[in-house]
Amino acid sequence: MSRRKITDGLHQRTDGRWERKEKINGKMRWFDDKDPSKVWEKRDAAVAAAKHEKAEEEAGPTFSDVADVYETSVWDMKYGTRKVYLPAVRRARARFGDRRIKDIEPYEISDFLKSISGMARTTVLNQKTVLNAIFQTWISSPKWHGDHNAAELVTVPHGLRKGKREPPTANQVDIVKNHYLDPDALPAVVYLCTGERKGEACGIQLKDIDFSAGTISITKHIELVGNKPHIRGGAKTEAGVRKIPLLQMLREALKPLLNKPPETYILGGGKRPLSGSQYNHMWVSFWRKYGMAHSRETTEKHIRNGVPKTTKRTVWTADVCAHQFRHEYVCMLAEANIPEAIAIQIIGHANAKMIHEVYMSLKPKMIEDTKAALDTLIFTPTTPTKTPT
């Protein structure tokens, strides 16, 4: 800015300080100092900074800038969703970091998804969901006004590894059936007779069971944050809020609890839901009793009275997990010829896809029954006739 005197363009206030008022990048700015040259130094620094800010604004935010904003919304999500999405945000940030989000091309996202295709299918799908959400955050921001979603144009790699969990073995199911009156068997009986998810089963109270109508209302679930149980309204999914049939085996197993208050949680028998450690102890105790658990030795280091100590202990793990009985329940629905439309509502899924792709397993008896039915349909033994010559 040309000027004859250093005070040109400045105004001297009554207190003797020199001042300049100027609009920079559309904003009015004021600079003042006792020394006129210092006023111009401040003004010139602001102009230079404004040029850099304008260039940064035109270049758009980095991927990390947008990912940071999206991550704040993830922390407001349910604990289970948070556990899945936060690692996906970290992986994406590590890959694209300080790249300008507007410069990231669909093929780069595709390459990223291919690079993690060795992970489970659900992990890769969740990664794409998070990438899509980060780009959508950029688009929806009144500050950034993003204009495209590169992740939306990408399909997940083919041939991803599907983590399909098998139902319990016939022997494991028989153990539950043969010992359903064993108090330690109650968690396994609940899973076998309801097909519920762990959190929903742990949330069932006596007041949720209508013994006259023979139904159980699933209206809440337990979410473990660390070891501590938190009661959440609703089921894990919207379709999970429902009524399911109360089977006779479970009715019999619940008889010892009938004199307790309606607020009693059927797993644990108390007024509070089970903690993570309490639940694990109950589950392992039953399966260990019937030879369906294995042990491993662990070493723990700690300090007692200022002296380092090493403690060895034995940890037991059941050979079957609760969710396998959810798969078993779907198989039982199929064996009982329950219509699919009813089965998906009892299971608590919005559609049949999950039943088909994840839960449904062809058990040997189902294959045998299918063979017998088809043989009856297409083959009727007759007296052999001679082959024409």
* pLDDT tens digit sequence for 176-215: 999 999 999 999 999 999 999 999 999 999 999 999 999 9
**182 and 231 assigned to the same domain:** yes
Percent of the chain clearing pLDDT 90 (strictly above): 59
Contact 186, 253 (CB under 8 A): yes
In a domain, 81, yes or no: yes
How does pLDDT run across 88-105, given as a tens digit for each residue? Answer: 999 999 999 999 999 999
Contact 324, 167 (CB under 8 A): yes
In a domain, 284, yes or no: yes
Q: What pLDDT was estimated at residue 78?
A: 81
Residues 6+ apart with CB under 8 A from 45: none
**Which pLDDT band, with edges at 50, 70 and 90, does 163 fall under?**
low
How does pLDDT run across 208-234, given as a tens digit for each residue? Answer: 999 999 999 999 999 888 889 999 887
In a domain, 336, yes or no: no
**137 and 267 assigned to the same domain:** no
**55 and 68 assigned to the same domain:** no
Which of the two residues, 239 and 47, has the higher pLDDT score?
Answer: 47
How far is it, in rounded angstroms, from Cα 170 to Cα 324?
12
127: left (phi over 0), alpha (psi -120 to 50) or beta: alpha
In a domain, 70, yes or no: yes
**201 and 279 assigned to the same domain:** yes
pLDDT for residue 354 is more than 70: no
> What's the chain's average pLDDT?
87
In a domain, 305, yes or no: no
**Which pLDDT band, with edges at 50, 70 and 90, does 164 fall under?**
low
In a domain, 238, yes or no: yes
How does pLDDT run across 137-160, given as a tens digit for each residue? Answer: 999 999 899 999 999 999 999 888
pLDDT for residue 240 is more than 70: no
Contact 97, 64 (CB under 8 A): yes
Report the CATH number that the domain containing residue 235 is assigned in CATH.
1.10.443
Which of the two residues, 81 and 1, has the higher pLDDT score?
Answer: 81
**296 and 177 assigned to the same domain:** yes
Report the CATH number that the domain containing residue 68 is assigned in CATH.
1.10.150.130
Among 125, 137, 143, 121, CA closest to 74: 137
Residues paired with residue 387 on neighbouring β-strands, in sequence order: none
In a domain, 280, yes or no: yes
Residues 6+ apart with CB under 8 A from 200: 218, 220, 221, 235, 236, 240, 348
**55 and 72 assigned to the same domain:** no
How does pLDDT run across 120-129, given as a tens digit for each residue? Answer: 888 999 999 9
pLDDT for residue 350 is more than 70: no
- The one-letter code for the residue type at 137 is T
Can you give the residue range of the structural domain that contains 264? 170-300+312-323
Give the residue from 105, 125, 153 where a domain finishes: 153
**106 and 135 assigned to the same domain:** yes
Contact 39, 31 (CB under 8 A): yes
**88 and 50 assigned to the same domain:** no
9: left (phi over 0), alpha (psi -120 to 50) or beta: left
**191 and 318 assigned to the same domain:** yes
**192 and 319 assigned to the same domain:** yes
Contact 203, 273 (CB under 8 A): yes
pTM of the predicted protein model: 0.64
**86 and 53 assigned to the same domain:** no
In a domain, 115, yes or no: yes
Contact 68, 75 (CB under 8 A): no
**293 and 209 assigned to the same domain:** yes
Q: What pLDDT was estimated at residue 195?
A: 92
Q: What pLDDT was estimated at residue 371?
A: 74
How many CB atoms within 10 Å of residue 228? 10
How many structural domains are present in the chain? 3
How far, CA to CA in Å, does 166 sit from each of 79, 243, 275?
Answer: 26, 26, 26
